[in-house]
């Protein structure tokens, strides 16, 4: 989000400036850490926290530790391909779950298929609740493709808990019912006892950031 900062060794610079250990992570990872430690995932060995808002990302916590991977890209599920017939839009893969099922794409579909003046996902959800057939179709498609991405995550990690945070958590019940329906149809039958959870902490990102030193043994 801040291209000019990509190669800036911010942690090193801050640590040298203040003579203290400094830890930094992305919003999904720290939210995952908080919910896995003191939230809805407390006590569970493998917790995945997925942000579903303007974009899509995930944080993975295994036995109380965030998983970053060799390049720091563990949990960056935005690039998972969920629609082979979707055009390439930006730096992500053509048909990536973020472009197909995140907020920006959701609004774009609403503008193209319902009303060019739509500016928010809430408008589409409100139209669906009022019975607009095209809005219902758009929500159904988003649920299908997001469920496909989550089924891939489940196949790899078999998590004990998947928590879904972000703006979409404030959407209608219609979306979550569809999401569960599609997800359960895509995963192996032995995994169908999984039910998505909502965050229980008021500010999981802030709490998780404060917990980073503890998670590193400080």
Report pLDDT digits (tens) over 112-153. Answer: 999 999 998 889 999 999 999 999 999 999 999 999 999 999
List the helix and strand counts (H, then E) for the chain.
Answer: 8, 4
The domain ranges of the chain are: 27-215
* pLDDT score of 218 more than 70: no
Domain 27-215 in this protein, CATH class: alpha beta
pLDDT single digits (tens) 55-70: 899 999 999 899 989 9
Residue 215 pLDDT level (bands cut at 50, 70, 90): confident
Structure tokens at 100: 């197909």
Nearest to residue 163, comparing CAs of 46, 63, 67, 78? 46
């Amino acid at each position: 989000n801040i291209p000019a900062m990509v190669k800036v060794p911010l942690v090193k610079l801050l640590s040298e400036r203040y003579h203290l250990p400094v830890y930094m992570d992305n919003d999904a990872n720290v939210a995952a850490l908080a919910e896995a430690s003191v939230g809805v995932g407390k006590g569970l060995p493998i917790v995945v926290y997925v942000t579903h808002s303007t974009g899509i990302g995930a944080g993975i916590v295994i036995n109380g530790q965030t998983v970053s991977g060799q390049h720091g890209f563990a949990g960056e599920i935005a690039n998972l391909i969920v629609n082979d017939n979707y055009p390439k839009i930006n730096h992500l893969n053509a048909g990536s779950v973020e472009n197909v099922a995140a907020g920006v794409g959701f609004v774009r579909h609403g503008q193209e298929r319902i009303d060019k003046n739509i500016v928010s996902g809430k408008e589409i959800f409100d139209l669906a609740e009022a019975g607009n057939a095209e809005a219902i179709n758009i929500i159904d498609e988003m649920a299908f493709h997001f469920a496909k991405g989550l089924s891939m995550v489940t196949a790899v990690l078999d998590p004990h808990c998947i928590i879904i945070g972000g703006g979409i958590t404030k959407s209608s019940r219609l979306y979550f019912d569809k999401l569960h329906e599609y997800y359960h149809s895509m995963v192996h039958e032995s995994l169908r006892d999984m039910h998505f959870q909502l965050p229980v902490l008021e500010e999981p990102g802030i709490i998780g950031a404060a917990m980073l030193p503890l998670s590193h043994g400080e």
